[in-house]
Structure 1
Amino acid sequence: MKVEELEKTLSRGEIGPLYYFHGDEPYLMERAAKRLVDRVVSADFRDFNLDVFYGNEVKGEEIATAAQTLPMFAERRLVLVKRAGDLNAAALDLLLPTVTDPPSSTCLVFLGEKVDQRKKFFQEVKKHGELVDCKRPYENQLGAFIREEARELGKRVEPAAVELLLYLVGNNLGELATQLAKVATFAGERETVTVADVKEIVSDTKVESVFDLANALGERNLVKAFRSLATILRDGEAPLMLLAMIARHFRQLWRVRELVAKQVGQQEIARQTGINPYFLKGIVDQARNFSVAELRDVFEALYMADLALKGGEGGGKPALVMERLVMGICGPRG
């Protein structure tokens, strides 16, 4: 089951006795777990009916005992096990009877990163409960994520504001949700979050410099790029995260460059790439700054920078690696 499917079942009031959340997106796991807690356990009785354990600290019998305990003043209790991937083999074996016949008066929830369906424990969870996949969304799904988060906050977001938020913050779901909540608070009584709202709030964070750097590189403006890079490094932005944002920007430029070469109209370019028309003209202008051969060189430089930052040549000096990358992209043609 995907986490999106789970949320549909929760909206229908269908709550099972057993869940194991796994995947590479902790924000989705935590959000789903919170929604389960909110639906299963009344806030007034959480002291009696909510147990939270951590897999690196708890013994299997403690979880089993809590799961078998009857709720107080309520129909169900919830037992939440975070860092379930740290449960050892003995604990999983001890929990087998509980997951094989989960008590109907308890909702037992595990949060882990990986599942091994060769193991009896996970086979029984799949048979008697739900394995919920919390996979990080693809780039083209992030807009839907923002719109859904906005609905939870009672807001809608202008398409251009969605795109700007993605440019400024990147693909970190937790950070996207945090920044969106700030923007929604700033919007106050207004139902719609605008580009101006995003600029007003998110522009005060260090991510604006990442946005500026990506544009400066696309414009091949060396002075502007170095200025933005200096700000980013001073504020402590992780170099690998920064590299990922630059790579995303140049993937867009490559795709737009191909479509421009085929004389595709801007409306169709926007449709095929998912770039909001609000930003499209600037992206098209930047794409024209690079030949196909130069874009290949950029991706080669991005790859070499990635290797260096992960411990290759120059790996201990991220500032030097990033400065070389900027010079390579903005430097003279040929």
Structure 2
Amino acid sequence: MAIKLIHGTDEYLVSHHSRKAVNALCPEEEQTLGLETIEGDVKTVDEAVSALKTAIGALRTVGLFSGQKTVWLRDVSIFKDKVISKNKEIKDLLAQLAEDIKNGLPDGQHLIISAPGVDRRSAFYKACQAGADVETYDLPEQAYLKEPIIRERAQKLFAKAQCRVSPAALDLFIEKVGMDTRQLVMEAEKLTLYIGDRNEITVDDVKAITSSSSEAIAWDFTDALGERKLDEALKILRQLIFQGEAPVALMFAIETLYRNLTQFRAYFDQGWLRLSGSRGAGSVQWAHDPEMDRMFIQLPADPRKMHWFRVGKLGQQAKNYTAEELRVCQKRLLETHEQLVSGSVAQEMILEMLVIKLVAKV
């Protein structure tokens, strides 16, 4: 008898380890008769009730010909849905399932529950802690905390494939694939196949074969703005709009970028920040200044705690603008925001004109 709860925000690792656990308990050749999979990714209360009743019923029914039986309640969204999880019938069914877990399953019965997340304060989670093996695969929410984890995973994937990767190629690879583990694994495998027997990955290899995630394409867009590459910025903007990105969301990304650039331009002008030509954390040098300390302690996030790679990128981009140019950019952003929400001109055209005005020399 085995009971496992496998959950977390890293969708790929949750899925991978759930499948691995299922195959260990019920080998693939036995799954036709020995595995019952119940889809837990539901949209309504009725669907959630049906999934939970089916799971409870399956656990209370012996396997065909009295053989072993594995029940997989897969991709359960109930726990994080604020509406469904508060429904009384759902609460009652979760309580029944929790009771079965605490009491233990009959011999030969196994239960795997995989979920994108579970409220760790809930009675159900506590029942799983008491009567099941709990595996958690989370990624931090903050990008600056995610990035070192994703970077380490990429290095391990390339090392496992016996491939060397230059620091510049690794930086570009991470930028393009973004912070999604599934995208990372797929693109790393594709890249190692692409280079064949060469066993060394270059920047040109990454540019040639690695696909940008939607998240990474958005980063490419703001990078092009920060680096004042007008043709590239317009090209990526049109691609994002074609893919269905909301103009208001793109406007928010642009405003965030120029707010950051304005701040970093001020740090340089105050003498608080210096960038050296070296790589790594040593390339970022913050001054020891009481006035800076007093200011940074009042900010929602202290820029000195930001990952060095992000600081270096924003710093280099801020150097492409003067303080006066950024002041004018802020004015244009305010005017465009008002146009975007109240004007009759097509939003795509408004954004294109904004990009031209921002990147052009003041």
TM-score, with normalisation over the residues of structure 1? 0.68
State how 1:3-82 maps to structure 2 within 5 Å: 17-23=3-9, 25-55=10-40, 56=42, 57=47, 58-67=50-59, 78-82=70-74
Whole-angstrom distance in 2 between the partners of 1:315 and 1:77: 62
Whole-angstrom distance in 1 between the partners of 2:12 and 2:343: 33
* Aligned counterpart, 1:85: 77
Specify which of 96, 110, 114 is matched with residue 113 of structure 2.
110
- Following superposition, the deviation at residue 167 of structure 1 comes to 2.0
CA 1:263/1:153 → structure 2, altered by over 3 Å: closer, same or farther?
A: closer
Contact between 1:18 and 1:130, CA under 8 Å: does it hold in 2?
yes
- Following superposition, the deviation at residue 243 of structure 1 comes to 6.5
Whole-angstrom distance in 2 between the partners of 1:170 and 1:304: 31
Whole-angstrom distance in 2 between the partners of 1:93 and 1:300: 56
Specify which of 154, 179, 187 is matched with residue 179 of structure 1.
187
Please list the CA deviations of residues 247-305 of structure 1 after superposition, one character each: whole Å capped at 9, or x if unmatched: 679869966985795444222665455439xxx7x876533112467668878988999
Specify which of 122, 127, 133 is matched with residue 125 of structure 2.
122
- Following superposition, the deviation at residue 323 of structure 1 comes to 2.7
Partner secondary structure for residue 275 of structure 1: helix
* Aligned counterpart, 1:323: 352
- Following superposition, the deviation at residue 201 of structure 1 comes to 0.7
Partner secondary structure for residue 142 of structure 1: helix
- Following superposition, the deviation at residue 143 of structure 1 comes to 0.9
Contact between 1:21 and 1:111, CA under 8 Å: does it hold in 2?
yes
Residues 1:275 and 2:309 are matched in the alignment:
yes
State how 1:95-174 maps to structure 2 within 5 Å: 95-103=97-105, 105-137=108-140, 138-150=146-158, 155=163, 157-174=165-182
- Following superposition, the deviation at residue 32 of structure 1 comes to 2.5
- Following superposition, the deviation at residue 224 of structure 1 comes to 4.0
* Aligned counterpart, 2:304: none
* Aligned counterpart, 2:276: 265
Whole-angstrom distance in 2 between the partners of 1:97 and 1:40: 22
Contact between 2:275 and 2:315, CA under 8 Å: does it hold in 1?
no
* Aligned counterpart, 1:3: none
Partner secondary structure for residue 53 of structure 1: strand
Of stretches 254-263 and 126-135 in structure 1, the one that deviates more from structure 2 is 254-263
> How many residue pairs get matched?
311
TM-score, with normalisation over the residues of structure 2? 0.64
- Following superposition, the deviation at residue 100 of structure 1 comes to 0.8
Q: Which amino acid aligns with 1:330?
A: V
* Aligned counterpart, 1:94: 96
Q: Which amino acid aligns with 1:329?
A: L
Bigger Rg, structure 1 or 2: 2
Question: Could you say what the CA RMSD is over the residues aligned between the two structures, in angstroms?
Answer: 4.7
Specify which of 273, 283, 289 is matched with residue 320 of structure 2.
289
Whole-angstrom distance in 2 between the partners of 1:140 and 1:304: 38
> Runs of 5+ in structure 2 lacking a partner?
79-84, 141-145, 285-306
Identical pairs, percent: 21
CA 1:266/1:146 → structure 2, altered by over 3 Å: closer, same or farther?
A: same
Whole-angstrom distance in 2 between the partners of 1:301 and 1:128: 59
Of stretches 98-107 and 159-168 in structure 1, the one that deviates more from structure 2 is 98-107
- Following superposition, the deviation at residue 78 of structure 1 comes to 3.8
State how 1:231-270 maps to structure 2 within 5 Å: 231-236=239-244, 240=249, 258=267, 261=271, 262-267=273-278
Partner secondary structure for residue 290 of structure 1: coil
Of stretches 254-263 and 151-160 in structure 1, the one that deviates more from structure 2 is 254-263
CA 1:213/1:96 → structure 2, altered by over 3 Å: closer, same or farther?
A: closer
Whole-angstrom distance in 2 between the partners of 1:242 and 1:177: 31
Contact between 2:166 and 2:201, CA under 8 Å: does it hold in 1?
yes
